[in-house]
Structure 1
């Protein structure tokens, strides 16, 4: 084969320079990619009351709907306390109704019968007084007998007035102070019922929203102290991605700006939106700050995927983030 001519060597060199220039241009316009990871804001569900775990209705890795039953604790004492409080409330309400209505009809009828008897006795005493007064004027009886007749007439008349007032009072409700006092007793009993119901409800816990049961921390039959989490949940809206951008980029970011998430094994890229941009550098190089070290400053950014796409990501999973 003959050696290349000078013109051929010049053309080849020119072509090489052109290719290098094109590759450099492509590298300058290559889309910037930032590394990040998936993070989950977990919800730890427990009971404010202590007790033995009698039922665990979910298992790790299960997806549950909102208001689905998660677990139950032993609640015999709370159930009995609620029944007792409800009975005391019923008794307080019955007593309030009783004092508002006054005496019962049979009791009022007794008072009326006593009044009728007293009226009859008063009439009899009044007639006897009239006869004795006539006899006394005629000299037929002593003054002492007349005085006895007058005293008897006055006594029976007073008894009539007393029983008349008793009948009137029996028709009236209790005094306002007594009603107010009993109303307070009813309110107090109602509060005890509400407290007992709340304690009983604390023994049965449901899912606050749809989500993944990430872990269960107790087994059925174990004693659970008050406030200890039993189920660890991850609602889809609590899945987010954290990534870091250099100082030269952070000023261009705004909330709700779209990003694209790429992860190994994902069937397709996942869209997300920026929900938080840190206003403080996450990393400062261990040297005196200068224009040369400025590019080493990075800022944390958080982005949330949609609820539908959140289930495709897993906490701790590394992702690549591309700004849109």
Structure 2
């Protein structure tokens, strides 16, 4: 009789024992952005701290830009010089240059006439045997030099009056374009030393500090993106048939009395390792699938908040 009473009491306790409803468990997560250094350099200014709210366009940090500023200034000076040379070629010669070229030609013409007279006189004297052959040769040489000087002055006057050649102008124009492109490149490299936020968010972690020299490509900090909250949970294999992308589900947040509506945005096609918190203790041996559920963005939910979703 006593044994029967013990068995009856045990069955009664088992019948009254509370059974946890089937559910999938997880946490609130947000998309993370890794902010990387575009170039190596010393960090001189760091405007962010862990937990700070960041707005798009806000300067997060500044790397030493002393050398790059000098490179930009050098390229600006080279471009200014090339533009001045192009302008000179496009405008052609000035009136003063033309007048000088005409005067040079007139002087060369006078010297040529004098050399011709001297050479004619020496020929007559040599014919009359009143002058030596050496004197005649010297007069001939002087005439040749005067003729060459005249030809040069005449050609220079033609060039001054004609202005710059089109090939010279085109070459100068291409030089200006090349230097403009180079200036844009070094200005862009200067901008890369100033790291700005590309999205609104919260500083999740900081990996470097002011005064440290970072290599190119190093992750400087991570940002939790605003407006990207979602529930990451592990769905049991036996519930896959009842879940689909775009489906609305109720998500229970730790510390809140009412559920919020979420939308299933991702279900992994492959089974994942089962974390210790993912399933009820009676179901931990079953396969689970990583699932993401988009959450409303105006709830002020902290990243890492535990959540659960009741399974049908």
TM (norm. structure 1) is 0.67
Q: Distance in 1 between matches of 2:154 and 2:243?
A: 91
Match of 1:204 in 2: 194
Alignment of 1:222-301 (within 5 A): 222-266=212-256, 268-282=258-272, 296-301=286-291
Partner of 1:38: 28
Q: Which residue of 1 aligns with 2:58?
A: 68
* Residues 276, 303 of structure 1: 8 Å contact kept: yes
Residue 97 (structure 1) aligned with residue 87 (structure 2):
yes
**TM-score between both structures, scaled by the size of structure 2:** 0.69
CA contact (8 A) 2:202 2:224 kept: yes
Q: Matched residues in 2 for 1:255 and 1:263: separation?
A: 21
Please state if 1:312 is matched with 2:305.
no
Report the structure number with the largest CA radius of gyration.
1
- State the SS of the aligned residue for 2:210: coil
User: Which consecutive unaligned segments of at least 5 residues does structure 2 have?
Assistant: 1-14, 122-127, 129-141, 275-282
Aligned to 1:81: 71
- Change over 3 Å in CA distance of 1:80–1:266 after alignment to 2: farther
Please tell me whether the aligned partners of residues 251 and 262 of structure 2 are also in contact (alpha carbons under 8 angstroms): yes
Q: Which runs of 4+ in 1 moved over 4 A?
A: 115-126, 152-165
Paired residue secondary structure (2:195) = strand
CA distance in structure 2 between the aligned counterparts of 1:267 and 1:179, rounded to whole angstroms: 79
- For 1:62 and 1:267, locate their aligned partners in 2 and report how far apart those are by CA, in whole Å: 29
Q: Does 1:321 align with 2:312?
A: no
8 Å CA contact 1:79, 1:200 repeated in 2? yes
Change (3 A) 1:164 1:306: farther
- Cα distance, 1:214–1:116 mapped onto 2, change above 3 Å: same
Cα RMSD after superposing both structures: 4.2
Asked if structure 1 preserves the Cα contact closer than 8 Å seen for 2:239 and 2:311, the reply is: no
Per-residue CA deviation, residues 166-215 of structure 1 (Å, 9 max, x unaligned), is 33422322341x34443443333233322321221121111101001112
**Deviation per CA, 1:9-31, whole angstroms, max 9, x where unpaired?**
xxxxxxxxxxx9xx9xxx9xx98
